Structure 1
Amino acid sequence: MPRMLDVSDEVRSEIGDDEADRLLGGAHAPDNYECTSCRTPGDSLQEPTSTVLFVGEETAVLAFAHARCIPSQVVPVSEEQLVGAVRSISQAQTDAPTPTVARTPVVPAPAATPAASSSATSPVADAANTPALPQPTAPGQAAILGITCGLVLHGDTGHASLVVEPTGPVGRPGNTSGTDEFLDLLQDAGFQPVTDLNKTPDQLPGWSVLVAMGKLHAILQPAAAGGSTGWWQAHQPLQVTDAWRFAANQLGEVTMYAVPAGMVGRQPREDLLRQALERAVALGQVVAASLPLAGT
């Protein structure tokens, strides 16, 4: 029996016409599945269902989602993240094997410098990884980006938000003066200064936030050759709260705030996080943009 599947043109171009037609005809597609976005059950025989292709450097994994949650699309992820996705999808979709598609290896864009991971903290999640930015100004040291997730009210509406704060100054290539140019670099990329936390910043074309299988995987930026590449990637995907994920899915976007090192810190509660952001805004030390969801 044919499924109510949507296979987008970009997914079709990745998996090929024959495989796309087999999916639409009922092959390789489960009757029941766990939505890769909202994590609730779905039925491809009874409700419109999106095909979502997670693409790594060498392999690709096909997942399914309610069409009301996300459209059919291709989501780039690292090969390491794909391993976790395969495990989660295989556990959730027991009616049919998880299709994988062989791919030609892709050389990833070089990161700025290697960075060590840090432990997770509240209010929702916090992690560190390599920013795709120039090296920090201090010789021999690598900047680590701290990422804190929390809900930030814009008026009466809670917005799923990320607060990005490096552990040290970040400078342009060749700058050895120790001057922190982190916010300047982000403004060059299109982020805008924040003067009022209650106002939702404009969306930034080409940037997005990848949340898959209920976890935060990456912040993506436009790639020079087209498409997207990782600006920040979690060493291990970060669990986010149901409220954070619900807000992100409802609005289809995440607000990313960025501040200089030492400006906000790791706040244990969302009310304290907002207070710290308000202090940083008063000092003119916050830039932001709304980033659409990639994948979920």
Structure 2
Amino acid sequence: MPHMLDVSDEVRSEIGDDEADRLLGGNHAPETYECTSCRTPGDTLLEPTSTVLFIGDETAVLAFAHSRCIPSQVVPVSEEQLLGAVASISQAQGGVPAQGPATVTPQHPLAPPVADAPAPAPLPAPTTAGQAAVLGITCGLVLHGDTGHAALVVEPTGPVGRPGNTTGSDEFLSLLQDAGFQPLTDIDVTPAQLNGWSVLMVMGQLHAILQPAAAGGSTGWWQAHQPLQVTDAWRVAAGKQAEVTMYAVPAGTIGRQPREDLLRLALERAASQGRVVGASLPLAGT
């Protein structure tokens, strides 16, 4: 019985025609696996299966997912993150190391997509007091109407200014608006999806927020020092909706809230003051 595998053109270009043909022929494909998206069992002989290639600076790992969960694609991650996930992907899913190293070139963060215009030069990394900004991430379920949405609240530890700005003024929200995020006044409304940005989870853990790279594809805007655990409810909501709502606020706006209802109240208060921008970001890779 043939394997029901999908190998996208971008995955094929990374692993080569010979390896892609071997996969499609069943030589290097497992019969069963754990989906890298929903983390439930899959069977390549019984259901359509996507090949998902995670690539770091020197390492590449091929994993498998239900085609109904995510399409076959290439997902760039940092080398440190990839090495941390290799063992779990390989053990749980039958991950197959790609033949030869694959590399990605990191781009500067906050390179906004511009429709019908030449790609702009990427903006440099935001800074605070002359140093790279430290961004805090809070995960929680936020109700939009009666539906709980997986949400990320991004809040820097101090004022964020553009390089060369010595006034100490905070330009964090304007930087994100340059990249396409929209001011939010009603937390009850799901913000529009932002093309090119996405949220990367691997094996149920939060790894990164990805942004468009100037040369095409995606690159990391925020990356966890260690993969972040999320609740089962958060992961299920993100998988069901295939997206995550990202809110961004200036330093000192939200802080650490012990409960999701208090997080929601703090977001509503910040939105009423014009201190929230946001967007819906699709899941990337998993």
Counterpart for residue 50 of structure 2: 50
Aligned partner of 1:249 in structure 2 is: 239
Counterpart of 2:99 in 1: which secondary structure? strand
What per-residue deviation string (whole Å, max 9, x for no partner) do you get for residues 172-226 of structure 1? 1111111000001101111000010111111111111101111111001111111
Distance in 2, matches of 1:104 and 1:75, equals 11
Q: CA RMSD in A?
A: 1.7
Does residue 162 of structure 2 align to residue 172 of structure 1?
yes
Counterpart AA for 2:88: S
Matched, 1:9 2:9: yes
Secondary structure of 1:232's counterpart equals strand
Contact in 2 for aligned 1:59/1:101 (Cα 8 Å):
no
User: Normalising to structure 1: TM-score of the pair?
Assistant: 0.88
**Deviations for 1:79-114, whole angstroms, at most 9, x for unmatched residues?**
111112211012213xx56223323544423579xx
Structure 2 CA distance for aligned equivalents of residues 74 and 291 of structure 1: 17
Name the CA shift for 1:111/1:206 in 2 (closer, same or farther; >3 Å). closer
Residue in 2 that maps onto 1:30:
30
Identity between Structure 1 and Structure 2 (%): 79
- Residue 195 (1) aligns with residue 185 (2): yes
The SS at the match of 2:255 is coil
8 Å contact from structure 2 (residues 61, 97) kept in 1: yes
The Cα of 1:243 is off from its aligned counterpart by: 1.2
TM-aligned CA distance change 1:104 to 1:43, over 3 Å: closer
Deviation at 1:27, TM superposition (A): 1.1
Tell me what 2:118 maps to.
none
Gaps of 5+ in 2: 111-122
Alignment check: 8 A CA contact 1:258 1:286 kept: yes
Contact 2:109 2:211 in 1 (8 A): no
Secondary structure class of the residue paired with 1:231 = strand
| SS of residue paired to 2:30 | coil
The range that moved more, 167-176 or 8-17, is 8-17
How many residue pairs align between the two structures? 274
Matched residues in 1 for 2:205 and 2:240: separation? Answer: 16
Q: Distance in 2 between matches of 1:274 and 1:60?
A: 39
Deviation at 1:142, TM superposition (A): 4.1
Matched, 1:155 2:126: no
1:103, 1:165 → 2: CA distance? 35
Report the Cα distance in structure 2 between the residues aligned to 1:111 and 1:195, rounded to whole angstroms. Answer: 26
How do 1:1-296 residues align onto structure 2 when only pairs under 5 Å count? 1-93=1-93, 98-103=96-101, 105-109=103-107, 133-136=125-128, 138-139=129-130, 141-296=131-286
Check 1:154–1:251 CA distance in 2 against 1; reply closer, same or farther (3 A cut): same
With the length of structure 2 as denominator, give the TM-score of the two structures: 0.91
* Inter-partner Cα distance in structure 2 for 1:101 and 1:285: 48
Alpha-carbon separation, structure 1, partners of 2:5 and 2:104: 29
